[in-house]
Amino acid sequence: MQELTLAEELRQAERAVSADKERTLAAREFEARLEENAGLAFRVARAVLHNTADAEEVAQEAFLRAHRNAGRLRDGRSFRAWLVRITFRMALDRARAMRRRERRETDWVRSRPDVSAEDAAASGEMRRRVREALDKLPEKFRLALILTAIEGHSLEEVAEMLGVPEGTVKSRLHFGRKQLAEQLRWLAENTKKR
């Protein structure tokens, strides 16, 4: 009887140790993923939303959502690609909601505030125009441009994140850049006319 109890106690201890190990591993995995990918999620969200606070919120939600469901991924490397897609989608949704809200509000206010002096400064003005032009690009071109512009991403990495061949990324970049330039030209001409 005592032996049985002892064996049972040993089994319980083993179970507790293995559960502890699992928890530690999961925590380490979480930390590694956070360190490696949170910045990327934030930058993708920021490039869509153009607002740090909203981008932080979206990045946080997207990261947790991706992490929660990471068990379903066959390949651990695809976490990054998945996170990018979730973040991009969530950021687009939020941007649309923000635009709708803005439209409702401007129905009341009617006039938009003038561009500030800071915004009018050469580099600021260009960035503002790029932001506006970027928002008008088709989603697949926009994401390719954002991911390639984010520091340190090669064409190969972007292709892996998007799950498309490198040639496709190259082509999306080409047409995305052309459309972006077109938008900038149009914006510049319109500003001149005003």
CA 174 to chain CA centroid, Å, is 21
Count CB neighbours of 92 within 10 A.
17
> Does residue 126 bind other proteins (CB under 8 A)?
yes
For the chain, the helix, strand and coil percentages under 3-state DSSP, each to the nearest 5: 85, 0, 15
Question: How many CA within 13 A on the CB side of residue 123?
Answer: 0
Cβ proximity to other proteins: between 81 and 143 the closer is: 143
> Does residue 23 bind other proteins (CB under 8 A)?
no
> Does residue 146 bind other proteins (CB under 8 A)?
yes
Which region, judged by CB under 8 A, interacts with other proteins, from 7-15, 71-79, 98-106, 148-156? 148-156
Q: List the x/- string, 68-97, binding to other proteins by CB under 8 A.
A: x-----------------------------
What is the per-residue burial (b if ≥16 Cβ within 10 Å, else e) of 35-66? Answer: eebbebbbbbbbbbbbeeebbbebbebbbeeb
Say how far apart CA 125 and CA 32 lie, in whole Å: 38
- What is the nearest approach in angstroms of other proteins to the Cβ of residue 114? 21
Binding residues for other proteins (CB under 8 A): 30, 34-35, 38-39, 42-43, 46-47, 50, 52, 56, 59-61, 63-64, 67-68, 123, 126-127, 129-131, 134, 145-146, 149-151, 167, 169-175, 177-178, 180-181, 184-185
